[in-house]
Structure 1
Amino acid sequence: MATSRTDPVDEPSGPGGRVLLIGASRGLGLALARQWAGEGREVVATVRGPGWTALHDLADADPEHVEIETLDITVPAQIVALRDRLAGRLFDLLFVNAGVTNQPEGTVAETSVEEFTRVMVTNALSPLRVIEALQDLVDPAGTIGVMSSGQGSVANNERGGHEVYRGSKAALNTFMRSYAARHRDDRRTLVLMAPGWVRTDLGGADARLSIEESIPRVASTLDALRGSRGLHYVDYLGRTVPW
C-alpha cells in the first residue's frame, strides 16, 4: 500500500540542493548568490524593492540557477507572502544575509531612538521572523544560517566601537541561541556566520578582506557544517567564535 507524505514534494536537487538566500542585491549577499549559482545550485534570492539590481543582471545571465523574489524583511506581511509563494518547495539551505549598520556612527547614548530601532529590527528581530516563517521550507536535515559578525561576540569586545551594530549582532546571536534551545530535537544545522571584515558598502574601503577572500570560504564552511546538528557560531574559516 502506498503511503502518503506530508512534507513538500519539490525536493532539493543538484550539488548542495537548493538555496533560499535572503538579502542578495549587493555586497556579500550578491557574492553568495554568484558563488552558489556558479557551483550549479539553484538559488532563490531576494531583493528589498522593485528596482533593478546587480542580482537581476546575474539572473539574466544565469536564469537556470538564479531566481529573484522581493522581500523587505522588516515587513511581516511580506515574509508571510513569500512563504505562501514558495509553499511546496524544499530547500537544502536557508541563509539570511540582510542587515544594516547605523548612520551616523556614535555611542549608544548618542543614537536616536529611531535609528536604534531601525538597526535592531533589521539585524536582530527580522532575521528570526524570517526563520520562524520559512523554517518548514528547509529540508529536515538541511541548514539554516544567518550572517552574523565577529563584532557580535561579547567575549571579544575589548576595543569597543560600532556600539549599536555590535549590540544588534549580539542580540541576533542570543535570539538564535534561544531558537536553538526551542528546537533542540531538530536535526537541522544552525549557523551564525562571521564573514570577516570585508570590503563592501557596509564594511568600508579599509576592510582587511576582499569579497573574493571571504565568500568562497563562507560557502565552503557552510558545506562542511552540513549534517552537524545544533548551533554553530563560526567565522569564514570555520573557526569557532567566542560568544
Structure 2
Amino acid sequence: MKQSGNTILITGGGSGIGAALAHRFHDRGDTVIIAGRRQAALDDAAAGRGNIHTMTLDADDPAAIATFARDLTARFPALNVLINNAGIMRVEPLDTARDLTDAAATIATNLLGPIRMTDALIDHLVARGDGVVVNVTSGLAFVPLVTTPTYSATKAAMHSYTVSLRHALAGKVEVIELAPPAVQTELTPGQSTREGYQPLDDFADEVLALFAQDPTPAEILVQRVHPLRFAERDDRFAATLERLNGAAH
C-alpha cells in the first residue's frame, strides 16, 4: 500500500477506530472518504480536515451499497483503497431461546456488508492497478467471546473470506486484514473507558506504524492482539479461551 497519495474509503468512519484511522491517513497526505449512517457523526469526524469527505451509507441495504459505489467512484475516480470497518457488537445469551434480531443484524452488518461493498467496488479497484482492500476483523475471530457469539463468528468468517480474497486477487489487488484487540471505543456501552482495553490513540498510532512497513504486512496485528491471534498456533487456545471469557464474565 502506498505511503501517501491514496484515496481511501473507510466505512464506519464517523467514530471509533474508523475515525481515528481517517485522521491519521489524512494527516499523512491521503484523501479520505468516511461513510456511515449518521451524518452528524461524520461531520464531527471530518471537522477541520479539508481532505476528509463524508458520504452517508446504509451498509445493510444491498441496493444502497450499489448506488453508493456508483456515486463514490464518479465523485472520487482516484479511489484505490477500501477499508471495510463498519461493525456492530451485541450481547446474546445462548442458554435459552431468544429473539434472533441481533444475530441477523450482526451478520448483515459485519459479514454481508463488507462482502457486498467489496463486490460493488472490485472492478474499479482492479482497474486502478494500485487497489487495496483492508478488512477489519478482530482478535475475537481467533478466540471467541462467548457473550458476543455472532460478532465473534462474523469476524472469524471475515478472516476466512479475507484469506480467499487475497489468493483470488493476487497480482491484482492487495488484500490486508486488520485484527484489533479490545480497544477503548463506543462499540459497546462503556467500552471507551473500560480498564484493560487499549487506548484508541495508542492503537491507531501502532496501526499506522505497521502500515508504514515495506512491504505492508498481510495482517496488521498490534502487540496486544498477538495472544489471541496466535493462541492456537502456540497451543494456548483452551487456556486463552478460559482466561478471556473468565475476565469478561
The structure with the greater share of residues assigned to strand is 1
Distance 1:33 1:82, change over 3 A: same
Cα offset, 1:136, TM superposition: 3.0
Q: Which residue, out of 159, 175, 188, partners 1:173? A: 159
Q: TM-score, normalised by structure 2?
A: 0.77
In the TM superposition, 1:37-186 aligns within 5 A as 37-49=26-38, 51-53=39-41, 55-63=42-50, 65-88=51-74, 89-102=77-90, 104-107=91-94, 111-138=98-125, 139-153=128-142, 156-157=143-144, 160-183=146-169, 185-186=170-171
**Gaps in structure 1 of 5+ consecutive residues:** 1-12
- Asked if the contact 1:128–1:176 (Cα under 8 Å) also holds between the matched residues in 2, the reply is no
Q: TM-score, normalised by structure 1?
A: 0.79
Partner residue, 2:173: 188
Q: What is the aligned residue count?
A: 221
Measured in 2, the distance between the counterparts of 1:123 and 1:212 equals: 23
The residue identity in structure 2 corresponding to 1:18 is: T
Deviates more, 1:107-116 or 1:68-77: 107-116
CA RMSD of aligned residues (A): 2.8
Q: Deviations over 1:8-31 (max 9, x none)?
A: xxxxx9924211111111111111
**Gaps in structure 2 of 5+ consecutive residues:** 233-249
The structure with the greater share of residues assigned to helix is 2
- Residue 40 of structure 2 aligns to a residue whose secondary structure is coil
Measured in 1, the distance between the counterparts of 2:98 and 2:160 equals: 22
Where in structure 1 do 4 or more consecutive aligned residues deviate above 6 Å? none
Deviates more, 1:108-117 or 1:87-96: 108-117
Q: Percent identity?
A: 22
- Asked if the contact 1:45–1:69 (Cα under 8 Å) also holds between the matched residues in 2, the reply is yes
